[in-house]
């Protein structure tokens, strides 16, 4: 055990000992002092917020607040972050709140046009009248922290995909359906589930930052990433996947495909999200390579060196209701995409569909023939351009204005 670990354990032991021996009246006084301190900090942050709103008055279309959901710097840059950025680009003033505010960081940090990353308590916004707030199925409780909020409910996945107490998640979902000003749904299956309650639900699949991922199509990188070099020099086809490695990834299928095509190299990029990867024997297969997590900004670099991109998910009610972020990113990179037959992803021309391992391997062969087909690449580019995050933000802002 290293010195740092020992010191950490000793510190925790000391804190726990002090907590146990401290009299209750002293604890109450300490809590009161902390509440006063927090209240003063909130007041300071409210003053800063007022200054921002005064300074920006007349320069934005709407104010949209993203209460705490996903950390901005999470391993996978996802829909809430992408929508926040796109809304800012489209003229909204966006406040994206960190789940665990870092007091060492600025309370309000302008990270891109129109979007502030907020290291503040949610009560900082409590006096703002009728704000638009963006909520997900699992963080509905934040609605009560705002002054008559106009809720944007983003219904992004089948309820069974969320971790936590199911009854509580269902209650949150029902509350948001009843009370939201705007309801978005990312898949047709989700639309069907809620349209009887909310006939005004707006179809809003995931999207792509086209300029970022089209770097792969334009071959902007002059050399492969270092951890791909050896595989590239083997001159064998590179079959790629990036994203979460979790229970919805079909590990058994992927293993069978790799065994059927030993002369193809299979690349996995992303976190072992729920520990399921390590519980398989997938990484014992010699032509399967897990490169770990890569920053969002580096993904186009890897994508450029994929010959074929894949989405090999288990097919079930959850994945039928999934709008994979990576689908349009792959298309922006003009890479052939082979998927399992998931209802939402099958809606788009250009995808190659396969269910069984033999069929999937054959589709990989077909995809390799298509990868340099200019007509096919033009189709992929067209679909990607029709499905950007900016297009999603425009639809949402139009709905907010009409409402």
CA distance 315 to 282: 19
Domain contains 22: no
Query: Model's pTM, two decimal places?
Result: 0.88
- pLDDT attached to residue 30: 40
Domain contains 90: yes
Domain boundary among 203, 226, 245: 203
pLDDT tens digits for 18-54? 455 545 543 444 444 345 558 899 999 999 999 999 9
Domain contains 143: yes
Residues 189, 242 within the same domain: no
Domain contains 393: no
What CATH number is given to the structural domain containing 136? 3.40.50.11010
Domain contains 198: yes
Residues 116, 172 within the same domain: yes
Residues 121, 225 within the same domain: no
Residues 179, 323 within the same domain: no
- pLDDT attached to residue 255: 98
Residues 228, 328 within the same domain: yes
Which residues does residue 66 pair with via DSSP β-bridges, in sequence order? 96
Residues 161, 246 within the same domain: no
pLDDT tens digits for 237-291? 999 999 999 999 999 999 999 999 999 999 999 999 999 999 999 999 999 999 9
Residues 143, 258 within the same domain: no
What CATH number is given to the structural domain containing 296? 3.40.50.2000
- pLDDT attached to residue 32: 45
Residues 153, 295 within the same domain: no
Domain contains 397: no
Query: How many domains does the chain fold into?
Result: 2
Residues 167, 253 within the same domain: no
- pLDDT attached to residue 16: 54
Q: Which domain holds residue 65?
A: 37-46+55-203
Burial tier of 177 (Cβ tally within 10 Å: 0-12, 13-18, 19+): middle
Residues 83, 64 within the same domain: yes
Residues 186, 78 within the same domain: yes
Grade residue 166 by pLDDT with cuts at 50, 70 and 90. confident
Domain contains 88: yes
Residues 227, 158 within the same domain: no
- pLDDT attached to residue 162: 79
């Amino acid at each position: 055990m290293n010195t740092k670990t020992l010191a950490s354990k000793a510190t925790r032991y000391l804190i726990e000992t002090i907590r146990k021996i401290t009299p209750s009246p002293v604890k109450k006084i300490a809590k009161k002092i902390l509440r006063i301190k927090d209240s003063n900090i909130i007041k300071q942050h409210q003053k800063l917020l007022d200054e921002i709103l005064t300074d920006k008055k007349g320069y934005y279309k709407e104010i949209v607040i993203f209460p705490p959901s996903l950390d901005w710097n999470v391993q996978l840059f996802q829909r809430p972050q992408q929508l926040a950025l796109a809304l800012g680009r489209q003229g909204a003033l966006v406040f994206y709140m960190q789940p665990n505010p870092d007091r060492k960081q600025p309370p309000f940090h302008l990270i891109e046009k129109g979007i502030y990353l907020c290291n503040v308590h949610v009560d900082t916004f409590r006096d703002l009248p009728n704000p638009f707030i963006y909520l997900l199925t699992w963080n509905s409780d934040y609605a009560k922290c705002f002054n008559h909020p106009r809720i944007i409910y983003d219904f992004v996945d089948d309820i069974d995909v969320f971790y936590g107490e199911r009854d509580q998640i269902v209650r949150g979902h029902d509350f948001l359906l009843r009370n939201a000003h705007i309801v978005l749904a990312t898949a047709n299956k989700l639309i069907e589930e809620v349209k009887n309650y909310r006939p005004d639900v707006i179809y809003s699949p995931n999207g792509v930052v086209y300029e970022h991922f089209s770097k792969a199509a334009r071959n902007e990188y002059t050399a492969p990433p270092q951890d791909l070099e050896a595989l590239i020099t083997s001159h064998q086809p590179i079959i790629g996947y990036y994203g979460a490695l979790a229970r919805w990834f079909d590990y058994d299928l992927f293993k069978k495909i790799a065994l059927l095509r030993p002369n193809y190299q299979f690349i996995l990029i992303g976190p072992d999200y729920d520990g399921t990867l390590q519980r398989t024997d997938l990484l014992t297969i010699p032509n399967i390579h897990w490169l770990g997590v890569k920053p969002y900004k580096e993904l186009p670099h890897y994508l450029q060196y994929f010959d074929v991109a894949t989405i090999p998910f288990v097919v079930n009610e959850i994945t039928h209701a999934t709008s994979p972020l990576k689908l349009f990113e792959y298309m922006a990179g003009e890479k052939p995409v082979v998927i399992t037959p998931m209802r939402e992803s099958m809606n788009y021309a250009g995808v190659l569909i396969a269910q069984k391992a033999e069929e999937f391997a054959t589709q990989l062969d077909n995809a390799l023939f298509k990868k340099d087909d200019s007509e096919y690449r033009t189709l992929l580019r067209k679909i990607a351009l029709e499905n950007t995050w900016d297009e999603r933000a425009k639809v949402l802002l139009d709905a907010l204005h009409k409402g």
